[in-house]
Amino acid sequence: MNYPAKDVVAVVGLGYVGLPTAMSLVESGKKVIGFDISVDRLTRIASCDVDLSSEDLGRLTSAIESGKLELTIDTSRLPEAEAVIICVPTPVDESMAPDFTAIHGACATVVERACPGQTIILTSTTYVGSTRDLIVEPLAARGLVAGSDVFVAFSPERIDPGVSAHTPLTTPRVVGGATPACTERATAVLAATAAAVHTVSSPDAAEMAKLLENTFRAVNIAFANEFAEIAEGLDLSIGEVIDAAATKPYGFMRFTPGPGVGGHCIPCDPHYLLWQLRRGRQTAPITEIAMRGIAQRPSVIVDKVRTRLANTGKPLDGARVHVVGVAYKPGVADVRESPALEIMSEMIRAGALVTYSDSHVPSVTIDGKRIPPSSSEAAESADLILIHTIHPGETDWWTAFSEVNGRPQVLDVTYRSEPHINANAS
């Protein structure tokens, strides 16, 4: 039988959260055993074929070659670790209901393999009470009491892909344990991987804090998009307006409009809160309205494309539209929940001939059909160029395309180039 070894940490799930978490633990001096159910994912990590910066890929190579990061699919090795950190995805389905498949499976496996003395930390964003429901109570059913036999906490992930200034090591973490002893143990595991640790009274408080963080962002993004539409209707540049408002040193935080939101957090996390509230017959009107606005944003962008084309006497049906950038945010290759996919799908269904270019994304799948990126000629011959995502170093799209064939055919829904004030010009 294996027993927990000091300074060995297991990371369950090596996706966009788990892999950076594992690397930060290695840097803090731990040996990490990384688990994932996907052999393909483990193979790609082992060959460094993952969406990381060149600097992080170097760190990953070093961690693997030194043996400090070991990759496996064998969960029977979980008892070797003194701490287990669960980092699995918590998406929503097509009806915006939480998909608990991954978190239920991971937590059940960890509970089954848990042994006395281990510290178990859940990081996946989920509903309030999930740490208790999925870990504490099942452990108790096995005879392992949180706070004495094992130590259980929730510490929400804070990963900002593509932003080098927001690494795990420079970002504070929140930790809430099932008991004070649990909080202490979890803090000891995570302290060296974060800029600071802020402790709260319970896993429930930490779970709610994460939902507040991302729901706050969702509401304010929806608000910024709404204001962009208001500004456009008044022939004002929303960029200029936001810059002016942001000069106020208090009471204002900059949020910028865009084509929608994507990735693993904003389109999904608030729905865990709304799902839980519906079960308790409660409502959250502001959050509900914001999430409806976010869901509708891609269709609003398609309407903008349709209007711009109509102003030049061209219907969307048969029009050539080139999309610049399809990743959900700058600097990453991730297209999960990217508004670009829905925008492209809706335009294709309307009869448009849609192409795209993205230096980070080798292909996308729209309505079951794989679409590769197109050459620059596709952009130059398009009836309209839709700027969706601007990657670092690719900031001059307006100059590059606004005068192609001498016609104003660029629609920049990143709102980062000028002139926005002429967004409806023919």
- Catalytic positions: 265
Q: 398, 377 in Cβ contact below 8 A? A: no
* Rounded Cα distance, 107 and 85, in Å: 10
Bridge partners of 177?
A: 153
Could you identify the residue written with the tokens 């519906």? Answer: 278
* Rounded Cα distance, 350 and 321, in Å: 12
Burial code (b: 16+ CB inside 10 Å, e: under 16) for 238-260 equals bbebbeeeeeeeeeeeebbbbbb
Q: 319, 309 in Cβ contact below 8 A? A: yes
In terms of DSSP bridges, do strands 31-35 and 69-72 run parallel, antiparallel, or are they unpaired? parallel
Q: Which residues contact 261 (CB under 8 A, 6 or more apart)?
A: 218, 221, 267, 294, 297, 328, 337, 339
